[in-house]
Amino acid sequence: MFHFFKKAKKANTQSKPQKNNDPIRSSLKHNTEHIKQLFSYGTNKDFSYRDLIAKYNQKEMSLFYYSSIVNGDKIYEAIIRPLLEAEGNELKNVVTVESLTEIKDFDEVIEHINSGKAILFQEGTAIAFSIDVAQFQFRSIGKAENESAIKGPQEAFTESLNVNISLVRKRVHDKQLITESKQVGKRSKSEVNFLYVSDLVNDDILNNLKKRLDEINTDSVRNVELLEQYIEERPYSIFPSIHYTERPDKAASYLEDGYIIILMDNSAACLVVPVTFWSFFHAQEDRYLRFLYGNFTRAIRLFAFYLTTMISATYVGITNFHSEMLPPDLLLAITASRERVPFPLIFEVLIMEVAFELIREAGIRIPNPLGPTIGIVGALILGQAAVEANIISPIIVIVAAVSGLTSFAIADVSINFTVRITRFIFIAAAGTYGMFGLAGAFLVWFMYAASLKSFGVPFFSPLAPYFKSPGDTVFRKAIKNEIWRPGNLLPKDLRKKRDSTSK
């Protein structure tokens, strides 16, 4: 292991991209040549440059930018036109843009051009001016498609960092809401922004996150989906350790509880750290619904959780090993339906479960116009034809349908995979040793989950270990009675609701 690390380290130092921190010279010609060479001007079609002579000081100037990621009108209106027409004593009084930064070396020049800024060189000056004219294209704000809600806001994050931050700030009007940023990626640098409420967040968790971001050593991290895999704790575990959501209102409610959310350009979602099991179990709508309705939803979801992981396994276990448990009528019904089926029961269940997973996977990948095909193939071939051909018994269709259907009640995409994989583990366990195997497998699975920690926070906290919390675990309290923030995060301010008697 050690040897492996050593090797990996060595390889990394060799492949580091060359640094370009040449200083900017005062000769415009030199600067222009250098930058043209850096960006392969001529070959690189959208890399543009423009020479002009500024009216206010009669000096030669050159402007560089990527035409595809800047706002052309803005360049014309705020830079070129003022430079050609306006009088003034220095540059900052001439150009009419909101941000003008001075930069000193080519390393920075490259970074700025890549992030959508225009760079202005001036004859006889050893600095360059970076002018923010970026205009990256992105999708407009849409509806939350994957975490839909009937009651509650419909907005979802979109693939633009600034828009996403604005969506969050719109909800959290708190001067302590900090947006900190770090750059990741060695070659293509991307900005990772993490938001937290500074007088709530636990500093250990925050520092842990920063450390993990600093430790990322790779060419590029394009979006939060990839970032998640770079900063998560257990890459091989079946349990996720970072929460992923596309709902800004959910992100905002996490922020107010002392969590940290991570945003990047190019992702219509954010990451939330740390997580507990409950983050995956809850849907934001549970909180928007009234106490009783919300808890009813939770009860249904808990039941769905049980069914989707256990029903196939229980069916296999009971019919194979504990058939005496079934009431005689039910037992006869099952036996009669299985009479002409040639396969062993566990094999039958596996066929159906795998078929369901196939339909599901195909359903996601299939191009929209072909969508209905899946329904026909799934319902007719797998359901009816397979039963009529005596490949599987009708009861199995019901069992597989229930276990498949209930898995959709577990909305979170990460935990959904956990549940689906778990189902197969349990089926295997129940197939080997009935309820004994199933109970054992469940206990191992559960204790493994209970031992997990995400950024130091135990997975089943605040239930076990117990912490002061809003009591929002399996069920939730009436919103008025929530006094504490989740104590398992050790937030700086634990009390959510000011006690009217204390002050």
By the criterion CB under 8 A, which residues form the site for other proteins? 202, 204-205, 208, 318, 321-322, 324-327, 433-441, 443-444, 446-448, 450-451, 455-458, 460, 463-466, 490
Closest contact distance (angstroms) between CB of 444 and other proteins is 5
Residue-level length of the chain: 503
Q: Is the Cβ of residue 233 or residue 249 nearer to other proteins in the bound state?
A: 233
Q: Is the Cβ of residue 364 or residue 447 nearer to other proteins in the bound state?
A: 447
Closest contact distance (angstroms) between CB of 300 and other proteins is 19
Place of tokens 């959780």: 305
Q: Is the Cβ of residue 31 or residue 208 nearer to other proteins in the bound state?
A: 208
| Token digits of residue 207 | 């520092």
Q: Please report, for residues 151, 257, 298, 475, the alpha-carbon distance to residue 285 in angstroms, rounded to integers and kept in the order given.
A: 7, 17, 10, 13
DSSP state of 26: S
Closest contact distance (angstroms) between CB of 260 and other proteins is 13
Rounded to 5 degrees, φ, ψ at 389 are -85, 5
Nearest CA among 218, 37, 63 for reference residue 133: 63
Closest contact distance (angstroms) between CB of 418 and other proteins is 17
Rounded to 5 degrees, φ, ψ at 88 are 165, 170
Q: Is the Cβ of residue 142 or residue 465 nearer to other proteins in the bound state?
A: 465
Residues with Cβ within 8 Å of residue 66, at least 6 apart in sequence: 46, 47, 48, 113, 114, 116
Q: Is the Cβ of residue 84 or residue 443 nearer to other proteins in the bound state?
A: 443
Q: Is the Cβ of residue 32 or residue 241 nearer to other proteins in the bound state?
A: 241
Distance CA 100, CA 94 (A): 11
Q: Is the Cβ of residue 208 or residue 403 nearer to other proteins in the bound state?
A: 208
Residue 255: how many CB atoms within 10 A of its CB? 22
Closest contact distance (angstroms) between CB of 234 and other proteins is 14
Contact of 360 with 352, CB cutoff 8 Å = no
Q: Is the Cβ of residue 322 or residue 495 nearer to other proteins in the bound state?
A: 322
Q: Please report, for residues 86, 105, 192, 278, the alpha-carbon distance to residue 227 in angstroms, rounded to integers and kept in the order given.
A: 46, 29, 9, 22
Closest contact distance (angstroms) between CB of 252 and other proteins is 24
DSSP helix/strand/coil, 47: strand
Closest contact distance (angstroms) between CB of 347 and other proteins is 20
Closest contact distance (angstroms) between CB of 461 and other proteins is 8
Distance CA 390, CA 380 (A): 14
